[in-house]
Amino acid sequence: MIKIHTRYITDTEGKPSEVVIPVKEFKALLKHLEEMEDALELERAIKEAEELVPWEEFKKGLRKSGKVA
């Protein structure tokens, strides 16, 4: 779990309007979001796939088609 040290900026009424976090934690959040997006894309691709082909079989097909040396 990513620990976030937040500081809040408030408006003139004292209501939070913005959040400030350290750059290192911000970058960790971005990386985590990207990984989650990748996982969701993979999950969606698996659901939409008509047929899954084993990796070795896929490589053989590429070699036969001349797309890989």
Q: State pLDDT tens for residues 10-66.
A: 999 999 999 999 999 999 999 999 999 999 999 998 888 888 889 999 889 888 888
- Enter the tokens of residue 47: 């659901």
pLDDT for the residue numbered 52: 80
CA angle 19, 22, 10 (to 5 degrees): 20
pLDDT for the residue numbered 69: 61
Task: Please report whether residue 12 resides in a domain.
Answer: yes
Task: Please report whether residue 1 resides in a domain.
Answer: no
Task: Please report whether residue 26 resides in a domain.
Answer: yes
pTM over 0.85: no
pLDDT for the residue numbered 68: 67
Burial class (CB in 10 A: 0-12, 13-18, 19+), 28: middle
Task: Please report whether residue 15 resides in a domain.
Answer: yes
Task: Please report whether residue 51 resides in a domain.
Answer: yes
Task: Please report whether residue 2 resides in a domain.
Answer: no
pLDDT for the residue numbered 65: 87
Structurally, the chain folds into a number of domains equal to 1
Task: Please report whether residue 25 resides in a domain.
Answer: yes
pLDDT for the residue numbered 51: 81
Domain residues for the domain of 47 are 7-65
Using CA atoms, how far residue 68 sits from 9, 18, 53, 60, 64, in Å, is 55, 51, 17, 9, 8
Taking the C-alpha atoms of residue 68 and residue 59, their distance in angstroms, rounded to an integer, is 8
